[in-house]
A and B are shown apart, each in its own frame.
Chain A
Amino acid sequence: MSEPILEIKDLAVTVDERPILHNVNLTVNKGETHVLFGPNGSGKTTLLMTIMGAPKYVITGGKIIFKGQDITYMPIDVRARLGIGMSMQRPPVVRGVKTRDMITACARGRESDAELEEIVKSSNLSELVERDINYGFSGGEIKRSELAQLLAQQPDLVLLDEPESGVDLVNISLIGHLINKLLQKRQHIRERERSGLIITHTGHILEYVDARTGYVLLGGAIICEGDPHEILKTIVKKGYEECRKCVM
């Protein structure tokens, strides 16, 4: 039996007093990767940011268990240090803070300079490291920079918000490669420590990263759970509403 790394129970979340998520339940086991589908505005980013612990997302019900520990009311940085990491859909620009500084800060002294340099190289960020983080970055550059930071951070639970959106056809294989590295996909599931929860619209990432379970989020609730490829096919053919009919 594989053990759960993340358990979400009856989660309800409001943003600026507006209820966004309700009754969300999901479990991710150690070594597994799950994907999240759903139309724009359905609450996908909200769910990931809530798991990460961004204060704007207020939990009004339910709980989040990470590695057996209740983290529902834990601050964001404590969660990060416990092993949760996230790549953001729209990360902010921080003027004066270089991309290299961010990657170094993420490592918190764990990796050597040489290892960090390797991360920079493999993420194709050599040209960007001396630039202010996210300042004037293209869509694809943001994705690579977010993944490089996570590679330095080495979180056990990796939350990825649309890692492939806006990425060209060549870079997507690089992104796929980086995600696999992040999730230790080369290792056998039994040895794999890392787990992932990935938001995707197009499902392109599924061609590179194998995922065990897919969910469809609609109107702030999970309406469907199953094989990610099957779900993707249904969405492409018939739209999100169709997922409501499928038996979980």
Chain B
Amino acid sequence: MRDVNTEKVLKEKARTAANKQARFGEDINLDKYEHVAEALPYKEDLATIPAEAKAQMLQTGVTVDDASKRSGTIIQMDHSVIHSVTKQSDIEIMSTIKALEKYDWLHDYYWKAVSVDADKYTAHVELNPGNGYFIRALPGSKTTFPVQACLYIGKKNLAQSVHNIIIAEEGSELHIITGCTASPSEEDAMHLGISEFYIKKGAKISFTMIHNWSPHVAVRPRTGVVIEDNGVYLSNYVIMKPVKSLQTNPIARCVGKNTVSRFNSVVVAPPGSSLDLGSQVILDGAGSRTEIISRTITTGGNIIARGYIEGNAIDVKGHLECRGLILKGEGSIHAIPELRGNLAGIDLSHEAAVGKIAEEEVEYLMMRGLTRDEATATIVRGFLRVDIEGLPPELSQQIRDTIESAEKDMM
């Protein structure tokens, strides 16, 4: 049960921030959305999910028809967790509401990696709770296959409110693939998603998130990650499909020694998409390393690619790489890499480039017999290819498939 007092304090804090504009991104008027969704029945059998929803989920790597290559599944539609199973006794998967009922100690994690009063969107999630997922790897456990989580918006005009908590206990290894998607309608909708990650000593989380929204959905994820000694966090974010407006700027606090964190983003902005994406890493633990890599392509949409690394401890090392490609159209890419070092003995660097495909490279491939289109596609595929270490093969494959399936839309 949530402690009444804590709850009161949180709600109060949220109320004070209810109109607080976010630092980045277009200000979204939350009043135009519905905040309540009808409860949907729990589904034992995922085969009964409508085909249209399944198809959308599949594009984000969430396989409901055959979950044999998944260690567990949790699906939230609108504000209802309609399915939740785990195949491993040492991996807990349940809705956040259930988890809060089950574990008193969860208060120590609730709104601790993300501030409830960060902006109007965090405040909204506290004041209009939907649900969310709780995934926890018990000490020393390891997922055989990735756990899949899906957040789906079906109700028109809904502002979906989600609060996720992910904990990797000491020495555990947890791989998650999350698909966020909506019904392919012409209707407006919004997604507000809080995700709080806790990586204990020597634990590892890989979090692969594929977004598949629509040109009418506004998205404001808010993510915080806390990494303890020798912890590892790998984030892979892929968005290839149109979205109306998306702004996110996850922050990882590397509080422990010798942590490793890596943020990879592969982003395509078709006409009409407005994306403001960043990653922030605060290196507070000595010997911690981080790498932020983003590959962005516009075919007409606008992208702001941010990156921020702050070094506050000895022997930390960070590298930031923002590369943007303007493939066609009137869109723009604005790369904003930032580094901040607060003491000697740190090593931070960045590399940013925005431009079009080099004609010389296209000709090189054409010289080998590829047509102009084939050559361009090959170069684009190469550009979007981020070699991801430490990811299970099925997830690397999913990322490649997602990128390749979107290629023809780009040309």
Contact = CB atoms under 8 A, between A and B. Distances in A.
B378 to A, nearest CB: 6
Contacts of A149: 368
A54 B363 contact: yes
A75 B379 CA distance: 19
Given A92-B358, A92-B361, A80 B367 contact: yes
A: contact size bracket? 20 to 34
Contacts, number: 66
B360 interface: yes
A153 B363 contact: no
A189 interface: no
Nearest to B384: A96
B124 to A, nearest CB: 39
Contacts of A55: 363
Nearest to B375: A77
B385 A80 contact: no
Interface residues of B, dominant DSSP: helix
Interface in A64-94: 75-77, 80-81, 85-86, 88, 91-92, 94
A46 to B, nearest CB: 15
A85 to B, nearest CB: 8
Interface stretch (A101-109, A120-128, A203-211, A214-222): A101-109
B383 A105 contact: no
B365 interface: yes
Contacts of A141: none
A132 interface: yes
Contact of A95 (B367, B372, B383): B383
A76 B383 contact: no
Given A92-B360, A92-B361, A106 B381 contact: no
B381 A76 contact: no
Interface residues of A, dominant DSSP: mixed
Nearest to A79: B367
Most buried by A among B366, B375, B379, B384: B366
A102 to B, nearest CB: 7
Interface string B36-56: 000000000000000000000
A66 to B, nearest CB: 15
Given A92-B358, A92-B360, A94-B361, A76 B382 contact: no
Contacts of A88: 364, 367
Contact of A105 (B361, B370, B372): B370
A79 to B, nearest CB: 8
A94 B365 contact: yes
Given A54-B363, A92-B358, A105 B368 contact: yes
A218 B382 CA distance: 40
A108 B375 CA distance: 12
A65 to B, nearest CB: 20
B368 A96 contact: no
Nearest to A77: B366
Given A54-B363, A55-B363, A91-B364, A96 B381 contact: yes
A35 B378 CA distance: 33
B364 A94 contact: yes
Contacts of B369: 77, 80-81, 105-106, 108, 153
B349 interface: no
B379 A76 contact: no
A85 B369 CA distance: 9
A52 interface: yes
Given A95-B382, A96-B379, A97-B365, 19 more contacts: A55-B363, A76-B363, A77-B375, A85-B367, A88-B364, A92-B358, A92-B361, A92-B364, A94-B364, A94-B365, A96-B381, A96-B383, A96-B384, A97-B382, A101-B382, A102-B365, A105-B365, A105-B368, A105-B369
12 contacts: A77-B366, A80-B366, A85-B367, A85-B368, A91-B364, A94-B379, A96-B383, A97-B365, A105-B370, A108-B369, A132-B382, A153-B368
